[in-house]
């Protein structure tokens, strides 16, 4: 059986690869990409079977440009992963804390560890595009005066020693990742969550009517995100995640909201997953 090819933003041992392992298992081939747009291009060119894409963080909020990519590339959501973001301070084996001059990581990871970092004002903070890339650079260049903030997977892959564990300020920090495919041909058994995008009619109360239809059919609105429609003043795309127990009621709700929406897209039906580890 062919191994699944999964495109990730970042390099091996990044949080995106950790999320890919959590969803697919470790018997996959991860394809490293320098940007989220690149992951979409790799999928479009059939160089990957799936994309794992972060969409929101419990502290930093939504990754708004990724909603635009989902729509522009017509990607289908077939699953989701919630990953606990655990950040560790790591260095080459044998390096002592007293030797450290530089701390390297992704700017969001740095912000999430600011309470720890503030205790050591003499350290020079260096921002990078990827947490795992910082760990790899320390290994490749044998840097004895630099530490990385990254996950345990990075420490293991690049042979680094963890000096301080769980230095993130908020221990309940998690990121939600979407599992994406180029086509909607996946038969997901018994889906109970869906992602939609739509605009509403330019009438008073149009969005309220849509939301009321969901409520009347016991369909739970778990997220709503608005994005301006490019080039159209005061017009917005709404991205909505909904959950249900009664599939028939969910289908009926969808049919009823169509009269109040424009450019409606069902971006994917999948299994709700809030198993945060």
pLDDT at position 208 is 94
Question: Taking the model in full, what pTM does it have?
Answer: 0.92
Range in 64-68, 123-127, 181-185, 243-247 the model is least confident about:
181-185
In angstroms, the CA 17 to CA 31 distance is 9
In angstroms, the CA 148 to CA 226 distance is 35
pLDDT at position 29 is 97
- Ordered by where they begin, the domains of the chain are 4-85+173-181 (3.40.190.10), 88-164 (3.40.190.10), 193-270 (3.30.70.260)
In 10 A of CB 57, how many CB atoms? Answer: 17
Place of tokens 């004002």: 121
Residue 129: pLDDT band by 50, 70, 90 thresholds?
A: confident
Of 91-100, 199-208, 223-232, which has the strongest mean pLDDT? 91-100
- Please give the mean pLDDT across all residues of the chain: 94
Residue 1: pLDDT band by 50, 70, 90 thresholds?
A: low
Residue 275: pLDDT band by 50, 70, 90 thresholds?
A: confident
In angstroms, the CA 110 to CA 127 distance is 8
* pLDDT single digits (tens) 173-188: 899 999 999 876 667 8
**Mean pLDDT of all residues in 249-273:** 95
pLDDT at position 185 is 62
More confidently predicted of 253 and 173: 253
In angstroms, the CA 55 to CA 53 distance is 6
């Amino acid at each position: 059986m062919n191994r699944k090819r999964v495109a990730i933003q970042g390099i091996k041992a990044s949080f995106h690869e950790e999320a890919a392992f959590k969803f697919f298992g470790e018997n996959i081939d991860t394809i490293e990409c320098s940007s989220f747009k690149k992951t979409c291009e790799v999928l479009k060119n059939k160089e990957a079977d799936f994309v794992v894409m972060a969409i929101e963080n419990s502290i930093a909020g939504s990754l708004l440009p990724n909603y635009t990519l989902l729509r522009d590339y017509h990607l289908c959501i077939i699953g989701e992963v919630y990953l606990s973001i655990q950040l560790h301070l790591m260095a080459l084996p044998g390096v002592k804390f007293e030797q450290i001059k530089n701390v390297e990581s992704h700017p969001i990871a740095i912000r999430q560890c600011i309470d720890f970092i503030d205790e050591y004002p003499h350290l020079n903070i260096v921002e990078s595009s990827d947490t795992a890339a910082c760990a790899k650079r320390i290994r490749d260049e044998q840097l004895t005066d630099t530490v990385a903030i990254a996950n345990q997977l990075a420490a293991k892959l690049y042979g680094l020693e963890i000096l301080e564990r769980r230095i993130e300020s908020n221990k309940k920090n998690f990121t939600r990742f979407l599992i994406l495919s180029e086509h909607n041909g996946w038969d997901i058994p018994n889906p109970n969550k869906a992602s939609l995008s739509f605009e509403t009619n330019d009438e008073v109360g149009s969005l309220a009517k849509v939301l009321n239809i969901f409520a009347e059919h016991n369909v739970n609105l778990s997220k709503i995100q608005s994005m301006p429609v490019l080039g159209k003043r005061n017009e917005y795309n709404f991205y909505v995640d909904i959950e249900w127990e009664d599939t028939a009621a969910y289908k009926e709700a969808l049919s009823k909201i169509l009269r109040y929406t424009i450019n409606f897209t069902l971006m994917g039906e999948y299994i709700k997953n809030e198993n945060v580890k």
